[in-house]
Amino acid sequence: MVKKMSAKEARDRFAEVLGQVHYGKDTVIVEKQGKPMVAVIDVERYGRLVKAWNEPFRVLDRIRAKNRDKDPDQVQKDVAEARTEVRTKTGSKSRRRA
């Protein structure tokens, strides 16, 4: 369950907030002047969020490691060719960013 409380209330009831988060698995959103400032979550949820956040970067790290000794211009060319090939096979139009 997600609960909201003011920063003053969170400060005054800090031990209770910790118990709600740890034992009750609640999430507490702490607001200051009615604006959400922080979320207090249990450490297990935090670990799952960090893992989910880092996973896409692990893929990039593996790709980077495989291409470390390659010429950056050649890698760029290979990526462009692969992208064109995939788009041709799937019928996707080229989308370039400005």
pLDDT tens-place string over residues 39-79: 999 999 999 999 999 988 888 888 888 888 988 898 888 88
pLDDT greater than 70 at residue 86: yes
Tokens of 27: 């999430």
CA distance 34 to 25: 23
Tokens of 34: 């009615």
Compute φ and ψ for 35, nearest 5 degrees.
-105, 130
**pTM strictly above 0.85:** no
**DSSP states of 50-90:** HHHHHHHHHHHHHHHHHTTTS-HHHHHHHHHHHHHHHHHHH
All domains in the chain, ordered by first residue? 2-41 (3.40.1620), 45-90 (no CATH)
Residue that has been written with the tokens 């200051």 in this structure: 32
